[in-house]
Amino acid sequence: MLLSIPFLTVAISIGSSMATGISANSAQGRELLAAAGADRELQQQDNSFNFLNQYSIKFQGCHHIQQWNANADAGSNVRVMTKRLARFRLCPSDDCSNEKSVGCRSKYGDYIVDMSTFLQSYMQTIAEERDEKCGYAQEMCNNQCGNGNSEDCWSGCYQAFSEYDCQQYAQNQGFQAQQYTECQQFQFNNNYDQTLYYIGPYCADQGGEIRLGVFTDDTCTTFSQNGPDMFYNAMGYALPYSSSSLVSTKCLACSQTNDNGYAQSREVCSNVYQVSGKCETRMNIDYPNESSCNYIEGVKVIRNDGVIRTSSRGKSKAAAVAIGLFTTLSVLLAGYVYYLRTKLSRAQINLSAASDALVS
C-alpha cells in the first residue's frame, strides 16, 4: 500500500500529538484529523482510476444531434445547433487491435462523451508525445539536411518519424490545432472579406473521422462554402486536418510511468472516463456502470467503407437457424403448391376428355 508523504507527515503529527496528551475531541485534534482525512481522500481519488492502467482507448467514431441553441439572440445566431459526440471503447491493452475497427470483442466498456471534451484531452496527450518525438526529429533532420540540402532530404528524414506526422507538424507550427478542439473564431491574416469565420471540429467520412472545418457561426453548425480553399488563399497553406482526422483509430494506452517510477493512468483516460456516458456490461470489473447502454446502443458506428455498424455484436446463431428453417419451409411449401396445381390441372384435362368421349 502506497501512502503519500503529506499523509505520512500528518499521521506522524497526529500520533506524536496524541502521545503528548492532545485529545482527538479538542480543536487541535479535530484539525489534525480533518487534515489527514482530506489527504486520504485525495489519495483515494488518485488511486480510483488505477484500474484504467490495464486498458487502452480505441476511438470508434463520432455522432451528431440537433438541439436548441439556448444562447441564440435576435441576430444571426442559429436557432438549432449541431451537438457532436465521440464514442470510444476501453479495451484490455494486451487485446486492443489497431487493425480491427471494434478494437476488441471481450472484457471492454463502451463510452460516449462530448466531442470537444474528448478532443481536448486527446489532443493534449498527442501534442505532448509529438512535441517530444518531433522535437528530436527536427534536431536530427536539421543536422542531416540543414546545410542547403533539397526538400527530398527533409522528406526522407521525416519519413522515419511518420507515426507522428512530423513533417506536417514542422510546416504548421503557426497553427495550433489544439486551440480548435471546440468552435473558435479565426482571424485571417488579411481580414478576409470582413466576415466573421470560425474553425472547429466536425464529424466527417460518415462519422469515421473528426476533421477541422470553416464555419460562419459561433456554434460551428453552418459550413462556409469552399472553407478550406478560402483558408488556403488567405493563409498560404492548407487548413490542417481538413482532409485527415484529428483522432487516430490506433489504440492509445492509458498507462504511463510517473516521475516516481510508478504506473498511473493518463489524464486523457481518467478525464474522459469521469464525464462519459458508460456501458460496462462486458467489462471485467466489480461494479460495472450500465447507465448509458440504451443510448450508446442507438449510436451507429460508421466506418470508412460506408457500412453502418452498431456495437460489435456478432451474428446471432439462433436468428440464422430460424431464417434458414423459414427459407426451407417456404421452398417446400411452394413446391407442394406447384404439385397440387399440376395434379388439379391434369384432373381437369382427364374430365374434359371423358366428357368429350361421352358426347361423341
Residue range 330-351, pLDDT digits in tens: 777 777 777 777 777 666 665 5
More confident residue, 206 or 111: 111
Nearest to 196 by CA among 212, 181, 179, 216: 216
| Neighbouring residues of 148: CB distance < 8 A, sequence distance ≥ 6 | none
Give the pLDDT of residue 220: 93
Least confident of 142-156, 236-250, 283-297, 310-324: 310-324
* Confidence check: pLDDT of 96 > 90: yes
Q: Cα–Cα distance between 54 and 92 in angstroms, integer?
A: 6
* Confidence check: pLDDT of 16 > 60: no
Angle between helical axes of 27-47 and 5-19 (0-180°, round to 10) = 160
Pairs from 249-252 (Cβ < 8 Å, separation ≥ 24): 249/58, 249/59, 249/98, 249/101, 250/98, 251/56, 251/57, 251/58, 251/91, 251/93, 251/96, 251/97, 251/98, 251/103, 252/56, 252/57, 252/58, 252/122, 252/125
Going by pLDDT thresholds of 50, 70 and 90, the confidence category of residue 261 is confident
Give the pLDDT of residue 75: 60
Going by pLDDT thresholds of 50, 70 and 90, the confidence category of residue 95 is very high
* Confidence check: pLDDT of 24 > 60: no
Q: Cα–Cα distance between 208 and 137 in angstroms, integer?
A: 30
Give the pLDDT of residue 34: 47
Give the pLDDT of residue 276: 96
Give the pLDDT of residue 55: 96
The pTM for the full model equals 0.66
Least confident of 9-23, 190-204, 281-295: 9-23
pLDDT averaged over every residue in the chain? 76
Q: What is the mean pLDDT of residues 236-263?
A: 87
Position 79, amino acid = R
Q: What is the mean pLDDT of residues 283-295?
A: 92
Strand partners, 56: 91, 253
Q: What is the mean pLDDT of residues 6-19?
A: 40
* Confidence check: pLDDT of 186 > 70: yes
Tens digits of per-residue pLDDT, 208-236?
A: 999 999 999 999 999 998 888 888 888 88
* Confidence check: pLDDT of 4 > 50: no
Give the pLDDT of residue 335: 74
R_g of the chain computed on alpha carbons: 32
Residue 326, H or E segment: helix 317-359
Tens digits of per-residue pLDDT, 98-155?
A: 999 899 999 999 999 999 999 999 999 988 887 877 778 778 888 888 766 677 787 7
Provide the percentage of residues in the chain whose pLDDT is more than 90: 32
* Confidence check: pLDDT of 84 > 60: yes
